[in-house]
Amino acid sequence: MDETSQQPGKTGLLPALTLVLGGARSGKSHYAEMLVLAHADTVGVRPVYVATAHAGDGDMARRIAEHQARRGARWRTEETLLALADTVDRWSDGSRPVLIDCLTLWLSNIMLAERDIDAEFASLLDSLTRAPGPVVCVANEVGLGIVPEQPLGRAFRDHAGRLNQRVAECADRVDFIAAGLPLTLKQPADTG
């Protein structure tokens, strides 16, 4: 995929809030990184990468290391497992783009911590809508597969679907990634 085709408009500038959805290993993180870098290069700033993953085992540690190596030193990385709204408030200042990777991992973190999911969603959505942007959120689309057998899996799928819907409703732009290819589901009317 040509990098210029991944820019959100003729200028490479992002709207205030973008949501990038896709399945596992669909290319959504790489795509979101390219969007943010195009914006950062256009305005001459260093982007912020908000990582929500926890390296709970060797496989996850390897995946995190792959993401870190791909990003390199161009990014300022902030790690947060639970305090995502506070992190958005701290780093979104209207000048530098912020990438959150990913909402789905954050959801699993708050579920495991037995946090009030409705309150956490409300706090995050409030932060995202008040952020001067640009903020790009990455999330897994988990509703296209089979119905999970276990109640916890069904609850996770349902919460993830609701979170994605709520963020998409607030977002100026929503892209769905399949096999590394973007499909724009929602975009501001004035993008080129």
CA-to-CA distance for 127 and 48, rounded, in angstroms?
Answer: 16
CA-to-CA distance for 175 and 150, rounded, in angstroms?
Answer: 30
Which of 184, 183, 177, 182 shows the shortest CA–CA distance to 25? Answer: 177
Catalytic residue at 67? Answer: yes
Catalytic residue among 30, 54, 67, 159: 67
Given CA atoms 28, 109, 61, 87 in this order, what sign does their dihedral have? positive
CA-to-CA distance for 192 and 12, rounded, in angstroms?
Answer: 9
CA atoms within 13 A of residue 191's CA, in its CB half-sphere: 17
CA-to-CA distance for 181 and 179, rounded, in angstroms?
Answer: 5
Indicate which residues carry an active-site annotation: 67
